[in-house]
């Protein structure tokens, strides 16, 4: 009788263990739906941002994650409180795309104390390596240096550069602005205008260039830190009868390489577009799955990005693009 009881007990134990799902190496939970908190910048910030948000939502849905996405809408303090709220809600992972690169230490510490992996995406944040789990970002200074190298090769008789910066304090703005400012200083180029447009706003960029033209400021290079602002600048120049692009008086440099912007490169309206790839969704999913499985991950990953030049771009290159 005793033997039968022991056999039944062992069988029940084996069956109960077998019934347990796969255990997460991160959360310790078994076969629970993974919940990912995403602190995004703004819903309608730019075409880049739209592609980025769509990429995250699509990849997370396909991966079976529950996504809790919130938007800071230009307010850094709001992003901080949103992140803290997601930690309180005990999300399994926290993904942050910061409006500002500074000021994230307390959130990162709280996530660490709560055992929630902190993944920074898009824009690197000012955090020591022990306060974040992984980084999937663009190297914005390297992007800017690609533009500076191209500009140098143009051997212009003079360089009078208009810098249309992105959101002040974002790592994207800081990196791209650092590259052109250092490039201008090293090459003796003149920066005739250097202002950041709140929210990367296309209309603010258009108005700034219109005001420059109206004031008689001479310039022959537009360095716009995203496609939308480059388009705004071109609209202002068109309205004033100023020629630009491949055969124009003003060189136009843009960043992001949205598909519609590459059409402008092909048409010769933009001279150069430096890619900033927004498709972080699949990259973050891969990271989370590796962490779930207890696999070693590559902590800092800069996204591979290329440059599109009006003299070499082809229709095939554009058709091959996914955003």
314 in Cβ contact with 272 (< 8 Å): no
Q: Strands, E, within the chain: which ranges?
A: 35-40, 66-71, 93-96, 118-122, 134-137, 160-165, 190-196, 221-224, 251-256, 272-275, 300-302, 307-309
By CB under 6 A, the residues from 215 to 274 that bind ligand GYE are 226, 255-256
The CA–CA distances, whole Å, from 100 to 67, 77, 117, 225, 255 equal: 22, 10, 20, 16, 19
Is residue 275 a contact point for ligand GYE (CB under 6 A)? Answer: no
CB of 195 to ligand GYE, least distance (A): 16
CB of 262 to ligand GYE, least distance (A): 14
Is residue 172 a contact point for ligand GYE (CB under 6 A)? Answer: yes
Residues 86-125 vs ligand GYE: string with x where CB under 6 A? ------------------------------------xx--
Q: What are phi and psi of 192, to 5 degrees?
A: -90, -15
3-class secondary-structure state, position 57: helix
d(CA 3, CA 256): 71
Would you say 140 or 159 has its CB closer to ligand GYE? Answer: 140
CB of 261 to ligand GYE, least distance (A): 10
d(CA 13, CA 113): 34
Dig out the tokens for 241 from the structure.
């009868």
Would you say 100 or 226 has its CB closer to ligand GYE? Answer: 226
- Candidate residues 26, 36, 37, 45; the one interacting with ligand GYE per rule CB under 6 A: 45
Q: What is the DSSP letter of 25?
A: T
Q: Strands, E, within 98-244: which ranges?
A: 118-122, 134-137, 160-165, 190-196, 221-224
CB of 160 to ligand GYE, least distance (A): 24
Query: Could you tell me how far CA 165 lies from the centroid of its own chain?
Result: 15
d(CA 225, CA 228): 9
Would you say 92 or 201 has its CB closer to ligand GYE? Answer: 201
- Candidate residues 26, 46, 79, 177; the one interacting with ligand GYE per rule CB under 6 A: 46
Would you say 166 or 245 has its CB closer to ligand GYE? Answer: 166
CB of 170 to ligand GYE, least distance (A): 6
- Name the β-bridge partners of 309: 272
Is residue 202 a contact point for ligand GYE (CB under 6 A)? Answer: no
Residue 298: how many CB atoms within 10 A of its CB? Answer: 10
CB of 167 to ligand GYE, least distance (A): 7
Find the part of the chain contacting ligand GYE (CB under 6 A) among 6-14, 41-49, 152-160, 209-217.
41-49
Would you say 26 or 55 has its CB closer to ligand GYE? Answer: 55
Is residue 133 a contact point for ligand GYE (CB under 6 A)? Answer: no
CB of 139 to ligand GYE, least distance (A): 11
Residue 126: how many CB atoms within 10 A of its CB? Answer: 14
CB of 278 to ligand GYE, least distance (A): 7
- Candidate residues 95, 135, 276, 310; the one interacting with ligand GYE per rule CB under 6 A: 276
CB of 41 to ligand GYE, least distance (A): 7
Where do contacts with ligand GYE occur on this chain (CB under 6 A)? 45-46, 48-49, 122-123, 138, 166, 172, 200, 226, 255-256, 276
């Amino acid at each position: 009788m005793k033997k039968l009881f022991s056999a039944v007990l062992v069988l029940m134990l084996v069956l109960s263990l077998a019934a347990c799902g796969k255990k997460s190496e991160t959360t310790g939970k078994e076969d629970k739906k993974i919940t990912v908190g995403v602190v995004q910048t703004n819903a309608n910030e730019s075409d880049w941002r739209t592609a980025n948000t769509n990429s995250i939502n699509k990849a997370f849905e396909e991966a079976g994650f529950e996504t809790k996405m919130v938007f800071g809408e230009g307010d850094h303090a709001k992003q901080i409180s949103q992140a803290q709220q997601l930690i309180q809600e005990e999300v399994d992972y926290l993904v942050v795309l910061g409006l500002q690169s500074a000021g994230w230490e307390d959130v990162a510490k709280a996530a660490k104390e709560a055992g929630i992996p902190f993944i920074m995406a898009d824009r690197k944040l000012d955090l020591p390596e022990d306060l974040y789990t992984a980084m999937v970002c663009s190297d914005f200074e390297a992007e800017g240096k690609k533009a500076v190298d191209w500009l140098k090769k143009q051997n212009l008789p003079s360089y009078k550069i208009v810098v249309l910066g992105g959101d002040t304090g974002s790592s994207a703005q800081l990196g791209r602005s650092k590259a052109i400012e250092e490039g201008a200083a090293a090459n003796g180029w003149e920066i005739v205008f250097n202002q950041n447009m709140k929210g990367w706003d296309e209309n603010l960029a258009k108005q700034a260039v219109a005001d420059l033209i109206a004031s008689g400021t001479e310039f022959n290079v537009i360095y716009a830190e995203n496609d939308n602002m480059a388009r705004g600048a071109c609209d202002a120049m068109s309205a004033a009868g100023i020629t630009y692009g491949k055969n124009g008086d003003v060189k136009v440099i843009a960043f992001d390489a949205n598909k519609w912007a590459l059409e402008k490169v092909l048409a010769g309206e933009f001279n150069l577009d430096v890619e900033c790839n927004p498709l972080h969704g699949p990259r973050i999913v891969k990271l989370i799955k590796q962490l779930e499985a207890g696999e070693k991950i590559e902590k800092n990953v800069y996204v591979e990005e290329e440059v599109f030049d009006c003299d070499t771009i082809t229709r095939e290159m554009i058709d091959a693009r996914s955003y």
